[in-house]
Amino acid sequence: MKNNSSFIVSEKKLLPITFVLLIVSLLSGTVHWGVPNLTIYKQINLLFHIGFGLLVCVVLPIYCYSHFKRIIGSRKPLVNISGIAAALSAIIYLGLSIIILYKGHSETNTILFDLHKYGALIIFLIISLHIIAFKFIKYKKQKYNTFSTIEIKSTSSFIRSSLALCFGYLLIISISGLSLNLISQSSQYKPTPEDYETPYGSHPFRPSQTETPNSQLIDSSFIANSHTCIECHQDISKQWLSSTHRLAAADPTYVTNISLLAEKKGIAATRYCEGCHAPVALLTGELTTGGDHGGIKNTPANHEGVSCVSCHRSTKSVHLDGVASYHFEPQSPYLFDNSDSTILSGINSLLINLHARPHKNDMAQSFTKEPASCATCHSQFMDKEMNDWGWVRMQDEYRSWLASPFSKQGDPTFGGKEAQRCQDCHMPLVKAKDPSANRDGMVRSHRFAAANTMLPFLNGDKIQLQETIDFLQSNKMRISIEEPNREDAIQSSLTVRESLRKHSETPFYLYLNETASLNVSVANIGVGHNFPGGSTDINQAWVALTVFDAAGEKVFQSGGIGENEILDPSAHIYQSIPVDRFGNHVWKHDLFNMVGRTYKNIIEAGDTDLVTYDFIIPSWAKGPLTVTATLRYRKLNTRYAKWALKDLYTPLPIVDMARDTLVIEVLKEAAAENSD
């Protein structure tokens, strides 16, 4: 009896504490799931929920142990079964809660949060059943009058205590939220300085086409914060760190060009480029006298390039002509965002991990999944305020994609049943251990593989370089040498009935000393836009044709690389040649001088280009001839690369995108037969 009475005393002490913790945990959980928006009050409530939940993990098992010790041997089957069920389900539930606290919220473990959410209701019902069963048995042993006076008072007291507890909790949340709202929340926007220059009109971002709510500048902590993304999204961050997007402002050729623009037209003019290459500099108001453009080393804009948030918080396109024509809105802040304190930063990470839905809604904008989001920077024009001449359309991958078979918005000549977006090619699904991974553990690659082999080559990034080479060689372009069929071709000098011939095709061959004419077709079968795309004025794509005889002697060559890495001037090349108002070649990519083009050779998606080569078969050639046609690509022509890279220049890699080979017999032309 003494031992049992000690358990009664222990249980009486633990009961009110356990009761308070359970009620507050249930209440805070209900508030969390019931309030839809991410507010400071909801986040404080979540912190209280976590705190009280951890206390429940400690107190509830102790209470259950004390309670079972006291009632062991009791012969009340319904009470015992419901009590055991309540205890076991509560212990399992608490274990699940610890797992959730450790793992956080991700796409692959959403079911854990659903179990946590609905499991609380199930446990509440089981505990209620246990209490009702206990009360029912107790009532049967008591007289009705006793029940009327004692139990009703007890129930009323319980209700009053619960209501008071709920009111007190909500009051504490309100006071805490109001206090933190006053002292700790930084603004997402910053005032425009009085000396901020606006030479292109009153808009703070012109000539860039970027917009923000009410044209406000953005506080740097809400855009230059990719390091906070890296903490959780490590696999995706590794991809992004190698990408051309991340290096958009640090690219040494860009540094040369943006510095030239700042020198010639002033730092405000750099907004034209920086909206895409260094949005951090543009949106934070750096691009005015005294500020730093993205080409300046060790600045946030230079380090971030196209930052995580600059893409993920682009909510819509202003128009589809490009030049950074996106609308940027800062994300909804979590408590202690960008705090320098280790503790507060840890609390911030905890809140995001455990309440990731608003974070996902903020960052996984549906707009970023649309090709139009790419158009905001991968389309471009120059107008009079920049070139002092007039409006000129430049690169426009979006419109060429729209016109292609892959968009399914035109009259396709070939292609699959489904439309293919920019993201489907340049951001394929890859395996990753990431909170945002889908249920198959896949994420969209943030390497953004395309055609820039120069940056990973200079940086010694072998993985990114190989990814880029693999992308270029992924059967998106084809090259074919047509057989040189000839009208005078014969298979035999003997007269043979046509029905006895084994071959339906005319044989092909060449004669010594004759002029051969070979057709080479280059087909754009898989690029979702024009080939080549991007900066066609400084990149090189061309056809290299070689003809060797059986002894390995060169018979003909076009498209070779000569001394000083200069491409054969006679090569069949795919490029554009921009010119200034005086007709001079704008070869330094100083496009603010561009008013038009003297030459542009591209292959539209789904189209084929036919190239004809004429050359003489020398008398010394030994048959057969081996003809090889290769479609080659090099990021940057040598003249521009040497100027832009300066001391960093080294011969840049050349990628063979497609190749075809044809073996052709060489005959000695027979002497004319005497008809006598």
Structural contact between residues 432 and 236, judged by C-beta atoms closer than 8 angstroms: yes
Structural contact between residues 593 and 385, judged by C-beta atoms closer than 8 angstroms: no
Q: What is the pLDDT of residue 206?
A: 96
Query: In the predicted model, is pLDDT for residue 616 greater than 60?
Result: yes
Banded pLDDT at 1 (limits 50, 70, 90) = very low
Q: Where does 165-279 show beta strands of DSSP type E?
A: 189-190, 217-218
φ/ψ region of 606 (left if φ > 0, alpha if ψ in -120 to 50, else beta) reads: left
| Domains in the chain with CATH codes | 2-183 (1.20.120), 190-331+365-398 (no CATH), 474-490+501-667 (2.60.40.10)
Query: In the predicted model, is pLDDT for residue 145 greater than 70?
Result: no
- Each residue's pLDDT tens digit, 278-289: 999 999 999 999
**Of the candidates 277, 304, 274, 303, the residue with the CA atom closest to the CA atom of residue 288:** 274
Residue 362 one-letter amino acid: D
Query: In the predicted model, is pLDDT for residue 672 greater than 60?
Result: no
Q: What is the pLDDT of residue 625?
A: 96
Query: What is the rounded average pLDDT for all residues in the chain?
Result: 86
- Each residue's pLDDT tens digit, 198-227: 999 999 999 999 999 999 999 998 999 898
Query: In the predicted model, is pLDDT for residue 80 greater than 90?
Result: no
Mean pLDDT across 356-382: 92
For tokens 């396109």, name the residue: 317
Q: What is the pLDDT of residue 472?
A: 97
Mean pLDDT across 265-282: 97
Structural contact between residues 519 and 612, judged by C-beta atoms closer than 8 angstroms: yes
- Each residue's pLDDT tens digit, 337-346: 877 888 888 8
Question: What is the H or E stretch that residue 133 is in?
Answer: helix 110-141
Query: In the predicted model, is pLDDT for residue 417 greater than 60?
Result: yes
As given in the structure block, the two tokens for residue 155 are 């129930």
Banded pLDDT at 253 (limits 50, 70, 90) = very high
pLDDT, greater one: 482 or 140 = 482
pLDDT, greater one: 386 or 16 = 386
Q: What is the pLDDT of residue 501?
A: 54
With a pLDDT cut of 70, the percent of the chain lying above it is 87
Q: What is the pLDDT of residue 549?
A: 96
Q: Where does 143-261 show beta strands of DSSP type E?
A: 189-190, 217-218
Mean pLDDT across 28-32: 81
Mean pLDDT across 531-539: 95
pLDDT, greater one: 112 or 164 = 112
Q: What is the pLDDT of residue 355?
A: 85
Banded pLDDT at 73 (limits 50, 70, 90) = low
Coil vs helix vs strand at 627 = strand
* The model's pTM: 0.84
- Least confident range from 76-80, 161-165, 599-603, 611-615: namely 161-165
Residue 454 one-letter amino acid: M
Banded pLDDT at 483 (limits 50, 70, 90) = very high
Mean pLDDT across 149-157: 51
pLDDT, greater one: 6 or 238 = 238
pLDDT, greater one: 266 or 347 = 266
673: exposed, middle or buried (Cβ count in 10 Å: 0-12, 13-18, 19+): exposed
Question: CA torsion sign, 266 to 271 to 276 to 281?
Answer: positive
Query: In the predicted model, is pLDDT for residue 8 greater than 80?
Result: no
- Each residue's pLDDT tens digit, 451-471: 999 999 999 999 999 999 999
- Least confident range from 85-89, 149-153, 407-411: namely 149-153
359 Cβ contact partners less than 8 Å away, ≥ 6 residues apart = 331, 334, 352
Mean pLDDT across 64-92: 78
Structural contact between residues 277 and 254, judged by C-beta atoms closer than 8 angstroms: yes
Question: CA torsion sign, 142 to 144 to 145 to 148?
Answer: positive
Residue 287 one-letter amino acid: L
